[in-house]
Homo-oligomer: A and B are copies of this chain.
């Protein structure tokens, strides 16, 4: 019995995956994993997600270099979400070049961007 068998994969075969910076506790991003992605994440100690838009495994950092080294993996009570504590290479998790994907905050009824772009995406994603 593998730890993978204890997960009731949803009808798309996925589970929600949250990445949290292991040192600061900041939530970096939310994505999905399928069985293969979670297995490879544990095996390689690097975060691998399932890209729903590209319909393929997404080895986080494969283009940007912003890989996430797995420090700890947790499962929630109903086993429909995993929490990855990670070391974020480059200190940038978001494709916009920001530390975290949660860079907008609700202030007086409006979403306000509170976080700076640390690196221009055109530099991160060289074509």
Binding site for B on A (CB under 8 A): 2-3, 6, 16, 18, 20, 24-27, 29-30, 42, 72-78, 80-81, 83, 94-96, 98, 101-106, 109-111
Whether the Cβ atoms of A105 and B74 lie closer than 8 Å is yes
Chain B residue, CB-CB nearest to A105: B74
Give chain B residues whose Cβ lies under 8 Å from the Cβ of A106: 3, 42, 72-75
| Copies of this protein, total | 2
**If A2-B109, A6-B111, A111-B3 touch, does A30 touch B73 (CB 8 Å cutoff)?**
no
Give chain B residues whose Cβ lies under 8 Å from the Cβ of A80: 30
| Least Cβ–Cβ distance between A23 and chain B, in angstroms | 11
Chain B residue, CB-CB nearest to A53: B78
Give chain B residues whose Cβ lies under 8 Å from the Cβ of A75: 102, 104-106, 111
Whether the Cβ atoms of A27 and B30 lie closer than 8 Å is no
Whether the Cβ atoms of B105 and A72 lie closer than 8 Å is yes
Complex alpha-carbon distance, A26 and B29, angstroms: 15
Give chain B residues whose Cβ lies under 8 Å from the Cβ of A27: 18, 20, 27, 83
